[in-house]
Amino acid sequence: MNFITSKDSLHHAVNIVQKAVSNKTTMPILEGILFRIVDNTIYLMGTDLEIGIKTVLPGQIISSGSVVISAKLISEIVRKLPDDDVIIELKENHVLNIKCSNSEFNIQGQSGDDFPQLPEVDSAQEISVPKELFKGMIRETIFSVAKNENIPILTGELLELQNGILKFVALDGYRLAVRQGFIDNPISLKEVVPERTLSELYRITSLSSEDNIYMSYSKNQILFRLGGTSIVSRLLEGEFINYNQIIPQNYTTKVKVDVRDLLASSERASLMVGSGESNLIKLNFSNDTLEIRSNSEIGTVCEQVEVEMEGDPLKIAFNSTYLIDVLKVISDEEVYLEFTTPVSPCVLRPITGDNYTYLILPVRYMEH
Amino acid sequence: MNFITSKDSLHHAVNIVQKAVSNKTTMPILEGILFRIVDNTIYLMGTDLEIGIKTVLPGQIISSGSVVISAKLISEIVRKLPDDDVIIELKENHVLNIKCSNSEFNIQGQSGDDFPQLPEVDSAQEISVPKELFKGMIRETIFSVAKNENIPILTGELLELQNGILKFVALDGYRLAVRQGFIDNPISLKEVVPERTLSELYRITSLSSEDNIYMSYSKNQILFRLGGTSIVSRLLEGEFINYNQIIPQNYTTKVKVDVRDLLASSERASLMVGSGESNLIKLNFSNDTLEIRSNSEIGTVCEQVEVEMEGDPLKIAFNSTYLIDVLKVISDEEVYLEFTTPVSPCVLRPITGDNYTYLILPVRYMEH
Q: Which candidate from A299, A300, A305 shows the least CB-CB separation from B102?
A: A305
Q: Which of A72, A81, A99, A271 to mutate to test the interface with B (most CBs of B within 10 A)?
A: A271
CA dist., res. B337 & res. B316, Å (int)? 12
Distance from CA of A304 to the nearest CA of B (A): 5
CA distances from B259 to B265, B324, B329, B335, B349 (A): 10, 10, 10, 6, 12
> pLDDT confidence of B119, banded at 50, 70, 90?
confident
Torsion over CA of A320, A321, A323 and A325, rounded to 10 degrees?
160
Q: Which candidate from A70, A81, A102 shows the least CB-CB separation from B305?
A: A102
Above 60 in pLDDT, residue B231? yes
Phi and psi angles of residue A31, each rounded to the nearest 5 degrees, phi first: -80, 0
Contacts of A366 (CB under 8 A, 6+ apart): none
What is the per-residue pLDDT for B161?
A: 96
CA dist., res. B216 & res. B202, Å (int)? 17
What is the per-residue pLDDT for B245?
A: 93
Chain B residues close to A300, C-beta within 8 Å? 105-106
How many CA atoms are closer than 13 Å to the CA of A332, on its beta-carbon side?
Answer: 18
**What is the rounded average pLDDT of the residues B317-329?**
97
Q: Which residues of A touch B (CB under 8 A)?
A: 70, 73, 76-77, 80-82, 95, 102-108, 264-265, 267-268, 271-272, 297-305
Chain B residues close to A298, C-beta within 8 Å? 70, 73, 107-108
Q: Which candidate from A80, A107, A304 shows the least CB-CB separation from B264?
A: A80
Q: Do B70 and A298 touch (CB under 8 A)?
A: yes
Closest chain A CA to residue B273: A73
What is the per-residue pLDDT for B25?
A: 79
Q: Which candidate from A103, A301, A304 shows the least CB-CB separation from B105?
A: A301
Chain A residues close to B108, C-beta within 8 Å? 297-299
Q: List domains and CATH numbers for chain A.
A: 2-114 (3.10.150.10), 127-244 (3.10.150.10), 247-360 (3.10.150.10)
User: What tens digit of pLDDT does each residue of A198-244 get?
Assistant: 999 999 999 989 999 999 988 889 999 999 999 999 999 999 999 99
User: What tens digit of pLDDT does each residue of B55-64 get?
Assistant: 999 999 999 9
Chain B residues close to A107, C-beta within 8 Å? 298-299
Torsion over CA of A4, A5, A6 and A10, rounded to 10 degrees?
-130
What is the per-residue pLDDT for B19?
A: 87
Closest chain A CA to residue B95: A299
Distance from CA of B267 to the nearest CA of A (A): 7
Segment (H or E) for B41: strand B41-47
Q: Do B271 and A73 touch (CB under 8 A)?
A: yes
Q: What is the DSSP letter of B209?
A: -
Q: Which of A78, A94, A103 to mutate to test the interface with B (most CBs of B within 10 A)?
A: A103
* Per-residue exposure over B127-156, b if at least 16 CB sit within 10 Å of its own CB, e if not: bebebebbbbbbbbbbbbbbeeeeeeebbb
Contacts of A245 (CB under 8 A, 6+ apart): none
Phi and psi angles of residue A59, each rounded to the nearest 5 degrees, phi first: 175, 175
Phi and psi angles of residue A196, each rounded to the nearest 5 degrees, phi first: -60, -40
User: CB of A102 within 8 A of CB of A84?
Assistant: no
Radius of gyration of chain A measured on its C-alpha atoms: 25
Above 60 in pLDDT, residue B368? no
Closest chain A CA to residue B75: A271
Residue A58, amino acid: P
Q: Which residues of chain A have pLDDT under 50?
A: none
CA distances from B41 to B15, B58, B60 (A): 19, 8, 9
Chain A residues close to B264, C-beta within 8 Å? 80, 82
Q: Which candidate from A70, A103, A298 shows the least CB-CB separation from B108?
A: A298
Distance from CA of A339 to the nearest CA of B (A): 24
CA dist., res. B183 & res. B309, Å (int)? 35
* Per-residue exposure over A257-274, b if at least 16 CB sit within 10 Å of its own CB, e if not: bbbebbbbbbbbbbbbbe
Among B262, B303, B295, B302, smallest CA distance to B279 is for: B295
What is the per-residue pLDDT for B123?
A: 63
Torsion over CA of A55, A59, A64 and A69, rounded to 10 degrees?
-60
Distance from CA of B241 to the nearest CA of A (A): 38
**What is the rounded average pLDDT of the residues B39-62?**
96
Share above pLDDT 90 across residues of chain B, in percent, rounded to a whole number: 88
Distance from CA of B309 to the nearest CA of A (A): 19
Q: Which candidate from B95, B104, B302 shows the least CB-CB separation from A301?
A: B104
Segment (H or E) for B213: strand B212-217
CA dist., res. A108 & res. B212, Å (int)? 55
CA dist., res. A268 & res. B98, Å (int)? 12
User: CB of A360 within 8 A of CB of A345?
Assistant: yes
User: What tens digit of pLDDT does each residue of B245-271 get?
Assistant: 999 999 999 999 999 999 999 999 999
The residue count of chain B comes to 368
CA dist., res. B335 & res. B320, Å (int)? 17
Q: Do A272 and B105 touch (CB under 8 A)?
A: yes
Q: Do B298 and A80 touch (CB under 8 A)?
A: no
Q: What is the DSSP letter of A155?
A: G
Q: Do B302 and A271 touch (CB under 8 A)?
A: no
Longest distance between any two alpha carbons in chain B, whole Å: 80
Share above pLDDT 70 across residues of chain B, in percent, rounded to a whole number: 98
Torsion over CA of A216, A218, A219 and A223, rounded to 10 degrees?
-50
CA dist., res. B227 & res. B267, Å (int)? 40
Chain B residues close to A272, C-beta within 8 Å? 105
Chain B residues close to A76, C-beta within 8 Å? 271
| Runs of H (alpha helix) within chain A | 7-18, 71-80, 131-139, 195-207, 259-270, 320-329
Q: Do B103 and A297 touch (CB under 8 A)?
A: no
Q: Which of A91, A265, A268 to mutate to test the interface with B (most CBs of B within 10 A)?
A: A268
B254, burial (CB in 10 Å: exposed 0-12, middle 13-18, buried 19+) = middle
Chain A residues close to B105, C-beta within 8 Å? 268, 272, 299-301
Residue B332, amino acid: D
What is the per-residue pLDDT for A367?
A: 64
User: CB of B187 within 8 A of CB of B202?
Assistant: no
Above 90 in pLDDT, residue B120? no
Distance from CA of B154 to the nearest CA of A (A): 33
Chain A residues close to B305, C-beta within 8 Å? 102
Q: Which of A105, A296, A297, A327 to mutate to test the interface with B (most CBs of B within 10 A)?
A: A105
User: What tens digit of pLDDT does each residue of B269-309 get?
Assistant: 999 987 776 789 999 999 999 999 999 888 999 999 999 99
Residue A335, amino acid: V
What is the per-residue pLDDT for B297?
A: 87
CA dist., res. B30 & res. B10, Å (int)? 20
What is the per-residue pLDDT for A67?
A: 98
CA distances from A96 to A86, A364, B125 (A): 12, 62, 65
What is the per-residue pLDDT for A356?
A: 98
What is the per-residue pLDDT for A158?
A: 98
Q: Which candidate from B80, B106, B299 shows the least CB-CB separation from A300?
A: B106
Torsion over CA of B287, B290, B296 and B301, rounded to 10 degrees?
-100
Q: How many interchain CB pairs under 8 A, A with B? A: 80
Contacts of B167 (CB under 8 A, 6+ apart): B158, B159, B160, B161, B178, B179, B180
Average pLDDT of chain B to the nearest whole number: 94
CA dist., res. B109 & res. B32, Å (int)? 9
Q: What is the DSSP letter of B94?
A: G
Above 60 in pLDDT, residue B101? yes
CA dist., res. B290 & res. A364, Å (int)? 72
